[in-house]
Structure 1
Amino acid sequence: MSEGVKTIFFSGINGIGMSGLAKIMVTKGYNVYGSDIAEKPVSKQLRDMGVGMFIGQEAKNLEGKNIDLFIYSSAIKENNPEYKYAVNNNIKKIKRGELLALLMNDSKGIAVAGTHGKTTTSSMLGITMLEKDPCIVVGGIIPEIGSNSKVGNSEYFIAEADESDNSFLYLTPSYSIVTNVEADHLENHGSYENIKKSFEEFIDKTSDIVVLNKDCHEIKKLNLKNKNIIWYSINDESADIYAANIEYKNRESHYEVVKNGESLGKFRLSIPGEHNISNSLGVIYLAHEFLCDMDKVKEYLYNFRGANRRYQILYDKSIKIIDDYAHHPTEITATINAAKKIETGKITVVFQPHRYSRTNFFLNEFAESLKLADEVYLLPIYSAEEENIYNISSEKLAELIGGNTRVYSEEEISDRVLNDNSSENVYLFMGAGSISRIANTIKNKLPL
């Protein structure tokens, strides 16, 4: 951090990335203030830690506080009154990703990137390396630490690296894991070619070891200059580390891990899906490289229930309610297929499309992935403050899915779930907007 910085203001502090960094900075002894447009559960956590919180974003939030550094999220635009105040008063301002880089780049940084799976993978890595006392900043709440961040007292710094706005290019990690590369956030990148170039740059900036998913064909097509590449796979035994003898039993995944021809033994996961076996392999490789106790690593992975909103079971009695962050067709496909392997009841997906741009770009792919469910309830598109310049709607998606699929209001979905008297039916709530609030509201109305 720059010398002389004592007081920091976070504009958009309730965001999962911003709140994690705010917690780190207040724990490090900085005076921290922040604002957001609405109250969220994390707001109370931040207040309890000593953060000066403001609900609503106004210039007066910064007045008289001697702010040395203004941190802003990608949601904050140049016409934001707090941003304008910082400009007009010559307050140094940096993006969230730049602050993360300032913290990580002076450490033995381990960054986890990828279009899908980076929150789960970085969370897995964080808990398996707890014995090393790392600093952790991820994009979800990790139940084992009760937070999305942790201040550590070692040289290790584990972070989720965000490609959505290219902020991961501020990072120069010592180690990195890349789970996959796919088209997404095209509203920011412009084209898939640009996304691939960004990942190439990120990988080539990793100084020591970069661990890549050999099962992702798009990664193998990248033009990479980095020679320190380790490959992991659940399908290819020529990889440096791979999973063998995969079995699914008693709602668990069982598999052997082989690294450089040597068996590291049997591993078990309680969270479902081949994609999570895959996510674990890069974690296991680095944990072994860092000389972590492998018996503890196995225990941590088995007890890992996922970061919040990653196949998070909210209710499991007569019916089951699951909350999941999946908001891209590939993620939806993986999550539904994982559910089919372990759930016995009818699977109804309650999906809220996120952003008009993403829904428009992947309309056909969304339809195909959602067809895997037994039934689909759609909510209107969550705009995330985008304008609908595409003339896209959930009704168009419903038409492509076919059958009895249609768009429901929150109240209609609540009534259908609450009045379901069938046994073992599974309601899988998916999306990145307000869908989690809807799922939790319904859960709170069900009998204990």
Structure 2
Amino acid sequence: MCGVIGIYSKSNVATSLFYGMNSLQHRGQEATGMAIDNGEEILRKRAMGLVIDAYTEESLRELAGNIGIGHVRYSTAEGSHDYNIQPIMGFVGGETIAIANDGNLVNYQVLRERLEEEGMMFQTTNDTEVILYLITRYYDGDIVAAIKKTMKVIKGAYSVTALVKGKVVAFRDPNGFRPLVLGRDEDDVIVASENAAIEIIGGQMTRDIGAGEILVIDETGIHSDHFESEDTPKNCIFEYVYFARNDATLDDINAYTFRRRCGEILWEEAPCDVDLVVPVPDSGIPSAIGYAQAAKIPYGEGLVKNRYMGRTFIKPTQKERDMAVKLKLNPLGDVVKGKSIVLLDDSIVRGTTSRNLIHRLREAGAKEVHMRITSPPVKYSCYYGIDTPNRKHLIAANQSIKEIEENIGADSLAFISMDGLARAGKKSIDNYCIACFNGDYPVDPTVI
């Protein structure tokens, strides 16, 4: 999971890209980059770390041009290395192509091996480079035709922004796993992973970019084409459960409303007689509000968040995640002491965060700590861009709910049902990819 943005404008875009990428920082905190077309060449700057640290006013002035793309990176299987920072660039027929991607190809390794056998030399371990190589292979001046041929070959999740000869190009996989939206600010056209990146720079989201859709934005306007496929849209349910910002509205579902509804439904499915409802910030806040309102139980801030910490789930190693939890969340003893509380969180993936929080809340004086989770148990690995590569890391894949309850030290534990999740989104569950819950993968992860 990463964040992408592309802007076609009549003025310099570097500053707008900077602010847009900042608003997508929750989608990836390990590295960032932008590429800008100045009419003569594509300029690029990339760096490890956060957007705010990667660019100075001087560097943004140097990146002069009215067309650009940006990326914030969260590494999955490829690892966190500077050579994997996007956008990446390739050259064909005297032209430069730069691309940035959010997603993960399930047939990346097979495609890479085939390309290497044909003499291709790779500069990264990033599956985005495979997409770039295939586009440049098929490109003869018609970028849409090259993308369609590429989409016939690649399998998995991808939401891509690209720069090609005075154009911003965006395309989304036929399942629409990862989000991609379109917006405008007067004459400017913006594509991004979430609407916040459009709104923060003064634009308005106009619509979602459809599953399998290919957009080309140039001086003549916005041109839409589609890759014909038998696949059906399967938006990732975890975007609404956890990844997207609370203010994101993706494929007609608002993340805040979805999460609050999950809390209300959890109260119906798993009521709890407690003194206080406490959220795990930030994605647990709307669900805790919904739970508290439905239960008519007071809502309290029992955990104080360090706003300068990143998201613990997307830290690359378990040791970093453990340290980040301690730095990020601290119990508020005056609120929880002597009280029985119910803790609302979006998911239990490995179990270490929940165990740590419950232990520290008890140390702070909480009398009872119950947990309610606004997603079903995560039992299966994700192959579409989330860092759960092996089921041995998923506590629910190896333990029953009762065993998890004992493992994390909760007085009780309950997860929302699949039906409850569908009710929260007010759509059939068939509209979502829920493979992490039931192992039913829309794209076979063993495909070759």
TM-score by length of 2: 0.30
Structure possessing the higher relative contact order (Cα contacts under 8 Å, 6 or more residues apart): 2
TM-score (norm 1): 0.30
